[in-house]
Structure 1
Amino acid sequence: MVFLGVFYLVWGPLREMAKETSDVLARSYTTLSAYISVFFVLYPTVWYLSETIYPAGPGIFGAFETSVAFVILPFFCKQAYGFLDMYLIHEAEEQM
C-alpha cells in the first residue's frame, strides 16, 4: 500500500508543483521521477524472482544473481541518481 502512496505523491501533487514552478524544473523532475520509479519497482521484482529470498516464486535468480543485483541496485539508486540530480540541477541553472 505504501508503494502506491509513494507513486501517487511522486507522479501527482509533487509533479504538479514542479510544473507550476518552471518548464525546466518540470522536465528535470519528470526525468528523475521516471529514473527512481524504475529502480523502485526493480527491488521487489528482484525479491520475487529470487529463489533465496522468495522460494515460492519462479526462482529465476540464484543466490549469486540476487547478491549481485542487491549490490548493483543501491549504486544506481544512490550514487548514479545523485550524479544525475546534480547534472540536471546544473543544466536547469544554465537555462534559467
Structure 2
Amino acid sequence: MPELSCLLTDGHENGGIEGRPGWLIERKDKLSSGISIYSTWPKNADFHVHVEPSALEHGYPDIFMSAEDFCHYVRMIIKAYLMSDAANENIARQINYQAS
C-alpha cells in the first residue's frame, strides 16, 4: 500500500513498483515528460503497466493510461481492499484521497 501511495505522488523518488509474478507499474512525472525514456510512450500516457508474458498469459502485456484512468482503477482497488481488510483503513483512505 505505501508503494501505491508513492506512485500517486508526482515527482516522488519511487516512480515505479514491481512484484511477482513479473509485473511493473511506472509513473511518468510531469516534469520529466521530455526525457527520452518516455519517447515511446503514447502522448497522453501518465502510467505504464507491464506484465511479463511468460509469467501470466494474457493478450496485452503492456498498457498505458492517463492519470485519470489509473486513479479510477486505484479507487476501485481501494474499495475492494477496504471490504476485505478494514485493519488498514487509514492508509487505504489516504491513497483513495490521493487518487481523487
Q: TM-score, normalised by structure 2?
A: 0.32
TM-score norm. by structure 1 comes to 0.33
- The structure whose Rg is larger is 1
* Greater percentage in helix: 1
